Amino acid sequence: MNAFGRRLAILSLFSLFLFSSTALATTVLAIDYGSDYIKASLIKPGMPFDVILDKDSKRKIRSSVAWKNGERLFGQDAFNLATRFPKDSYNSLKYLLGMPANADIISYYTSFAPPDVAPSTRFTAAVRRGSSTAARESGAVPATWDVEELVAMQLAYVRALAVDVAGPGERVQDVVVTVPAFFSQFERDAIADAVELAGLRLLALVNDGSAVAVNYAMTRQFPQRERHIVYDAGAASTRATVVTFAGQGKKQDTTLLTVNGVGYDRVAGGTELDRRMREILVEEFEHKHGVRIRDDPKAMMKLWKEAERLKAILSANNEASSRVESVYNDIDFSMKVTRQVFESACADMKVRFVQPMYEALDNANLTLADIDSVILTGGATRIPMVRAALAAVVGEEKLAMNVNSDEAAVLGAALHGATLSRQFRTKNIKLSDIAPYDVQVSYLAEAKSTDASDAPPRTITSLAFAKGSRTGTRKTLTFRRKNDFSLAFSYKSPPASEIPVEMLDARISGVAEALANITEADGIDPVIKVTILFSESGFVSVPEAIAYAEMKDDSLAGKLKGLFGDGPSAEDGSTSTVDSSASSSPPKTTKAPATPKDITVPLNVTVKFPSVAPMGLEQKREARQRLIKMEAEEAAIAAREEQRNILEGYLYKLRDLLESDSQHPFVTHSQEPERRAISRQLKDVSSWFHTHADNAQTKDFIEKRSSLEALERPIVHRIKEIEEFPQALNMSQMWNWRTRLFLTEALDNLTAEERAGTTGRYTKVELDELEKTLKEHETWLNERVEKQKSVPMNRDPVIDTGEMRKRAKVLETQLQRLSQKKPPRVRPSSSSKTQVPLPTDEPESGGGQGKHDEL
C-alpha cells in the first residue's frame, strides 16, 4: 500500500471511531517536536484526521524561531534567516532542552549551531539573544532566552496553525507531545514547561517509538502476538523500541502494546551526518581558497544548508554537485561530492546507528530471532548507508516500510491523546511503556536514641523504579519515623554525560504532630506511608504521604461508635457530637477511612530540585506574560498593516471611480457636488497617506477610510437599490396576486357554504382582515412606485427595497397562516371515510390546530 492508500485507510477507519462522546466540543492537538521538524495533528470530531500544514502548505514545520529587525519568524522562513542572521535564528533546540549548561551535548550543539549558549538562572543551557531579537522589546529583557521559552514560541505557533484548522471559536488546548524514550526527568520537565508557557495543557508525553507503535496498531488486528522493533533514526538521535502487539478479548477489540526494551544513541542522527558533510565542504573551501571560515557563522550556515541539500541528493544519487555563491568574502564555492566520500567520512557512524537496536533487544532480554520485523521511521532511515547497516544485521527482508516514516509518530500520538482524553470513541489501544533508567531513592536511617550521638546517620539507598518498570507504577514506601525526613530520588547513573543524577528531594513534614494525633486517637503502631509514582508520561513524583495506624482493639467498639457514627443514625456522626462525647479529642483532619479502624493523617510533601530545576512558578508567569505581550504586539502590527492596505486599496478604487466614464453607475447615480466633495476629501486623505502612513496608527487608517466611505455611501446605496428594485417589486406583486387569488376563491366558497348552511373553513372576519392587509399593501406599493418613477437615478430613491421585502413578508405571513388552517372537524356521526381532505399540501401546523379546537 502506498502512502496515499495508507492515509485513506487510516481516514476511513478513524472516522468510524472518531466522534465526540460528549456535547462539549473538544480537540486534541498532537505535536511531534523534532530537532529539525515539527509535525502536528489535530483531532476534532467531524474533521478529517490528518497532519496540520504549515503556512506554505508543507506537511512538516521547520523547528525554528528567528528574529529579523524585531520581527519574529517561524518555520522555514526562520531557518532560512540563519545564513544572514545566524545568531538570531534558533534551530535544533531539542538538544538543549533540560540540559545543564555544562553538559557534553552543549559543546556538541555549539559545534554546528551559531547561537551562543550561556547558563540560565537555573544553570540550564540558555541561548544568548542576537542583536535583532530584542530590537523591538522595551524595558529590561533578559540577555538570554531560556530554551523552554523559545520552544514555547514554536509550540504556540503550531497552536495558531491548529486554531486556523479547527475554525474560529474552537478551543485548542489539550496537547500530547512526543519525546524520545531516553528523555530524563529534566528533559521531560523542560518540554512540559514549554507546553505550559505556550498556553497549552499537557495531556501526556508519549515516547515517540511507542507513538509509532500505536500508529502501526491503528489499522491492524493481532490475532497472533507480534513483536517488532520500531526503529527511528531522526535528526538528533536514534531510538529503537521493542514492542509486543497482542489482541485481547473475544472479538480482539482491544490491542495491548507492551514496550519490552528501548535503546538509543543521543547523537547518531541526520544532524551528525550533516555535520560530517559540512566538514567535507569546509575543508575543501579552506584548502582551495586558503582562508579560514570556521569562525564566520554566516559562511558556516551557508555551508550547513548546502550540506543538508547534498545529503538528500546523495540518498538517491552517487554524486552531487555543490555550488554556493559568495560563501565568504564574495568567494563562490563549487565541489563534487560522491556518496563514497560522504560515507567514508561517516564510516564510524554505521555501528552507532545499529547499536540502539541491540541495546533495545538486550534490555528486553530478547534476540533478533524473537523479532518479526524492524519498522523503519525517521528521516535518516532514508539514507542508504543507514539502511545498509541495518540490513546487514537484520536482513533486508526484516526491514519494514509499513508506516509513514515522517508522520507515524504524530498520528500515533494523536490517537493516544484521543484515547486519554476520553472524549472520543477510539480503537482501544492500551499502551504500557517502561522506565529507561534505574531510579533510586535514598534517605537517612533514623538515628537510634541508643546510638553514640556523634555517629553519622547511615544513608539507605534502594531502587524505587528499576529500569524497565512500567509507566503508571505506583508504590507505597513504609517508614517508621518520629520526625520529619527527606527522600532523595536520583538516577543510579547519569542519563547522559554531565547530566546530574540528583532528580528531586521530597521533604515529608508534619510527622510529629500527626503521630501525636494518632496516639491521642488511640492508634497503635503508627507508620508513615509515602506514595511514589512513575507516571504514564515518565515523571517520577511523590503524590502523597500519610501517617497511618490501626486503632487499639480494646477501645475499638466504643471509639467506632463515637468517632464515625453508628450506622444509619448518621447525624450522630458529625464531629461536634464526637467532640462532646468522646473522652479524647479526635484528629479533625482524619479522613473517613475505608475501614473504620484505620486512622489516616495527611502529611506535607515539599519537593525541591537539587540539580536541574524546572522553571519556577514566578518565572513561568513572567515568561508567559512576555509571550502573550509579544503575540499581542504582533497581532497589533498585523492589524495595522491590514488597515493600511485596505485604505490604500480604497484610495485607488475611489480615484478610478472618479475618473470613470459617464455611463459608469458611479457617475450615473451621483451628482456633481457629491463627486466634487469626494474628490476633495480623496485629495486630503491621499496626501495624508503619503506623508503619515508610516507613523499612523490603526485607528487613523480606519478614521480616514470612514470619512471617505461616508461620502460614497449614498451613491453606493442608490446603485444597490436600483439594482435590487425589480426583484423586490416582483416579490411584492407576486404576494399581492397570490393573496387576491386566494381571497376570490375563499370568498366564493364562503358564499356557497353560507348558502348551503354549512360551516366553512374560513370566517368572514378572517377573510376581511386579510383583504384589509392586502389593500393597505397595494396602496402603499402603488403610491411609492408611482412617486419613484419621477425620481432621477442620481437622487435617493423614495422606495426602499428593504421595506418592500418587510411589508411583503407581513402579507405573506398572514396568507400562509390562513392557507395552513385545518378544515372544520367533521361530526363524529359521519364516517371517517368521508373526512374532508386537507386543503393544502402544507403539513398541519400547531397554531392552526389550536385555533380550530377553540371553535
Residues that bind ligand NAG (CB under 6 A): 364-365, 468, 509-510, 513-514, 517, 585, 587-589, 601, 604, 726-727, 730, 742, 745-746, 749, 761, 839
Residue holding cell 531522526? 234
- Phi and psi torsions of 35, nearest 5°: -70, -40
Q: What is the C-alpha to C-alpha distance for residues 516 and 587, in angstroms, rounded to an integer?
A: 9
- 263 vs 587, beta carbon nearer ligand NAG: 587
Smallest separation, CB 589 to ligand NAG (Å): 3
CA distances from 415 to 31, 142, 518 (A): 12, 39, 48
Q: Are 844 and 853 in contact (CB under 8 A)?
A: no
- Cβ neighbours around 328 below 10 Å, total: 20
Burial class (CB in 10 A: 0-12, 13-18, 19+), 507: middle
In this structure, are residues 65 and 127 in contact, taking their beta carbons and an 8 Å threshold?
A: no
| Residue closer to ligand NAG (CB basis): 358 or 742 | 742
Q: Which of 274, 230, 263 is nearest to 92 (CA)?
A: 274
Considering beta carbons, is residue 301 or 746 the nearer one to ligand NAG?
Answer: 746
Residue 638 beta carbon to ligand NAG: minimum distance, rounded to whole angstroms: 44
Toward ligand NAG, which CB reaches closer, 742 or 780?
742
Helices (H), 219-348: 270-289, 297-314, 339-345
We find the least distance from the C-beta atom of residue 273 to ligand NAG, in angstroms, to be: 32
Q: Where are the alpha helices (DSSP H) in 167-292?
A: 185-197, 208-218, 270-289
**C-beta of 534: minimal distance to ligand NAG in Å?**
15
* 273: helix, strand or coil: helix
The smaller minimum CB distance to ligand NAG, of residues 107 and 604, is found at 604
Q: How far is the CB of 435 from ligand NAG (least distance, A)?
A: 11
Nearer to ligand NAG, 483 or 585 (CB): 585
Min CB(254)–ligand NAG separation in Å: 23
Alpha helices (runs of H) in 670-697, residue ranges in sequence order: 672-692
- Choice between 214 and 547, CB closer to ligand NAG: 547
Nearest position to ligand NAG, beta carbon: 510
Phi, psi of 428 (to 5 degrees): -85, 100
Q: How far is the CB of 570 from ligand NAG (least distance, A)?
A: 22
Tell me the C-alpha distance between 196 and 628, whole Å: 12
Q: Which is nearer to ligand NAG, 341 or 466 (CB)?
A: 466
Burial class (CB in 10 A: 0-12, 13-18, 19+), 713: exposed
**Minimum CB distance to ligand NAG, residue 781 (Å):** 15
Q: Which is nearer to ligand NAG, 393 or 836 (CB)?
A: 836
- The least CB distance from residue 201 to ligand NAG, in Å, is 25
Nearer to ligand NAG, 684 or 748 (CB): 748
Is residue 233 within 8 Å of residue 269, measured between CB atoms? yes
The residues, any chain, with a CB within 8 Å of residue 257's CB and separated by 6 or more, are 210, 213, 214, 217, 243, 244, 245, 429, 430, 431, 432
Q: Are 98 and 612 in contact (CB under 8 A)?
A: yes
CB of residue 547 vs ligand NAG: minimum separation in angstroms? Answer: 8
* Choice between 109 and 264, CB closer to ligand NAG: 264
Work out how close the CB of 434 gets to ligand NAG at its nearest, in angstroms, rounded to a whole number. Answer: 8
